[in-house]
Structure 1
Amino acid sequence: MRKSAVLLPVLSAALTAVVVISVLAPQAPAPSESQSTSVKVDGVVSAANIESVAYTQAVAAAQTRKPKVTVIGTGGTISGVATSRSSFQDYRSGQIAIADMVGQLQPEIGQVADVSTVQFGNKGSGGYTIAEFHALTLAVQKALKTSDGVVVTTGTDTMEEFAYWLDLTVRDQKPVVLTGAMRPWAAVTPDGPQVIGADGPANLYNAIVLAASQTTYCFGTVLMLGDEFHAARDVTKTSSYRMDTFQTREFGVLGWIDGPNIKVGRAPARVQKCDSKKSWLTPFDVEKVKPEALPRVEVVTSYQQAGGEAITAFADAGVKGIVTAGTGSGGLSSAQTAARTAAAAKGVVFVSTTRVGSGSVYGGSTTQPIIAGDDLLPQKARLLLLLSLAFAPTDVAKVRQWVTTLGNPEWDTAP
């Protein structure tokens, strides 16, 4: 099976074991049965059938001590304050400090992990710059030096881009989990009553449980909302208001959090490289690149009789890369095609994707810097192209290699 999905026969010839991961400190008093903090990893992928020493050791270690988890807050709806308890859309985001939100999960979350907090920012996800993404990676890596996992809270509008950026740049195999909410946390004031049906508290609690369990060790960054967790590369927001907005089309979720049980259905392809950290890591060590050195990369969408002026203008403005979100399997209008050819001749690098939300784009060009993005979503392809151009600004062959391999990982199914 290709890409980041794999079924049982590929991973292991037999699956009979159920692995129970305790994230409760040994010295802590035993909770009641209804408050159990044991985490059961069951299903197609578990510590029993991922053939990785590093993964198995990380999961086993979570049984012996209370893990340390750092929660980094960046704002978004999850930290929002509504005008009333029943106002699901009338609210101001970024109003509640992450320390206060975690504090409201006590004492329950204290049975799961020792939790510390970092207030990175407190605004809507769409308001962050690429330079701030750069700084966020450094903040996550700093936290992982002393913590067993990191949870990042963000707004949902561009959460998938936050997740994929961290997936490409964080140089640590420990769990990184993004979460947020579709409804604000509190009403009237930051310490006011909880909004009716607020999903933020449960999402934050489950994200900490997931990070503490080490279940996603070597999975890269995952996105967790509504009791489901998804691969950063594959997930996308599909609805402006629905609670189940995040979906992974074609491949499906990685797994589910059902109370004290974590059920894993599949794993990202990179988990196969878990025992070789050098192979597991991407080449994008942002500590070696200053934020001002990150190039501009833009996205252009195609549609009926689309003009080529946007591509020309971007090229004239000094943009180094452009992702085209084409029709069907990546098609562009005749005007856009002509503009792309002219811009490519000037050195602008293109990645071709589709606007339809799923499915692959093949081909590209061997004579021009036009690279097929396969099934990467346009907004994800932009981040990969941006990083690729930052680390190989004049090497189109290397950029093509990274888009083809890092951007479109496949399981090695060889015996």
Structure 2
Amino acid sequence: MGIVVKANLEDILIAGYLVNAGLGGLELEELSAVHIQKTIQAWRNEKGKVFSVFNLPPDLPAIVLAKIAGGRLEAMRRLQPKLEELLSASGLTELFQTVESPLVQTLFQMEREGIKVNPETLREFGRVLKTRQSQLEKDIYSLVQEEFNISSPKQLGIILFEKLGLKAPKKTKTGYSTDAEVLEGLADQHPVIPLILEYRQNTKLQTTYIDSLITLINPRSSRVHTTFNQAVTTTGRLSCTDPNLQNIPIRSEEGRLIRCAFIPADERHRLLAADYSQIELRVMAHFSQDQAYKEAFLRGEDIHKYTAAAVHGVPVSQVTKEMRNQAKAVNFGIIYGISGFGLARNIGVSRKEADSFITAYFEKYSGVKTYVEQLIEEARQTGEARTLLGRIRKLPDLHSRNFSLRS
């Protein structure tokens, strides 16, 4: 309606999200039951069918609607001071007031503004993709000497592991696994594998991005208006849906072509693309206060090359591209708790060699090792972790007997 609200807004959903530390339970009914022990009764019709407040029959009498709305407003009135008390007790008030609450308005403005998309650019790329897909189909059928449904995991598994005799790494209850990890591991065993991987990538580009984006363009604004989810992830990270604009491909040439469809509002505007440089590693250097790590960044070193020299025991001048790529996996893997087994699988080396990389890394960056061990111990004692701004994340699986959940 164009009305600008100048008052400070405090959203109960966001407050509950911070208090519940990413564990969910954010519906008003759930927050009320847990924090003020108030049950909000759902509306039922004469047959006993329960209706969500977002799906009420359109012909309900005004008196019934008023009663439903009044009950919810009363719950919110009582919830606000209770949630403020809990935010204060957890040291989350500043985060709520200075970061999360102002962000509500910012995200609203971003959603309303949207981003302009040129549908013809998408359609043209779609036509190019379809031509390429047709050629890929012919090439794949020629290599395996048979036509089949390339998009069917079951049929693909039979072709690869029974007809061609490739070694099947794993088999599920429904048949052979042909997921991306399996196919990438087979890439050097038969020339058809890279073609199948490309075919799958193109199929995803067509359905997930091209076709979907075109249908989501608002006919009045010529823009897509995504929905930002501020209270969904357990880590506090934003997500967005319809469409997921945070997941538009960029690393491949095809992905960059899709990004070309996003255009400025008019000739007076430009789109700016920016990214933090190795932000996770810089945050680790700050948190751990590891002297070698900090000095490397302050000197403007290539941190992956610098780490490669340490883990391989060679001068920086002798670091190869392959060594740097391995060190990059070590740098990012360790801050996310990767194991020797996981690192070995990621970079294609033996478990022994991967373990030696991790050992050499911690010898070089002993402050990181101390910090990580301290962080894990604190989490075991408190059952939670905190971010730089004080956000809490509960870790209920930290003591689980299931290794995968615990790790």
TM range (shorter): under 0.3
Greater helix share, 1 or 2?
2
Please, what TM-score do these two structures have when normalized by structure 2? 0.24
- TM-score normalized with structure 1 length: 0.23
Give the structure with the larger strand fraction. Answer: 1
